Amino acid sequence: SRFETCWPALMKDSHGVIIIFNPDLPSHLKEIEMWYSCFVQQQPLLDNQCLLVAHHKPGSAGDMENLSLAYPLNKLKLIHSNLEDDPEDVRMEFMKYFRSIITFINESREREEMSIIS
């Protein structure tokens, strides 16, 4: 894509990646493999630093329960969102994700400080 030259700047010092995609588009299912490879595996980030969001457009007939992703995407936390349902579930999942990232950052910082001390 024409924005690939910006990717290193986007990735620099990032602690988490959220990938939002339309599960009704087969092309998106291929693309998220590429995003995962570039933004998670090559950094490298841990899988629990990545969140997948399958966003369903209003009126889409997509089957929310049976979205099966291939390895390695099937190891990632996946949430479904759509604007017709109560968004509270999605908000809660985002909060959980952000809390986990903050915990991860704090633990990493503590490990760094301990290694400097010792």
Q: In the chain, how many domains are there?
A: 1
Burial of 50 (0-12, 13-18, 19+ CB in 10 A): buried
What would the pLDDT profile of 50-95 be if each residue is shown by its tens digit? 999 999 887 775 556 668 888 999 999 999 988 777 788 889 999 9
This prediction has a pTM of 0.83
Predicted local distance difference test score (pLDDT) of residue 61: 59
13: domain CATH number is: 3.40.50
| Pairwise pLDDT comparison (38 vs 68), residue with the higher score | 38
**Domain region containing 62:** 8-117
- Give the dihedral of Cα atoms 56, 60, 61, 62; nearest 10 deg: -20
- Considering the domain boundaries, does residue 89 fall inside one? yes
- Considering the domain boundaries, does residue 3 fall inside one? no
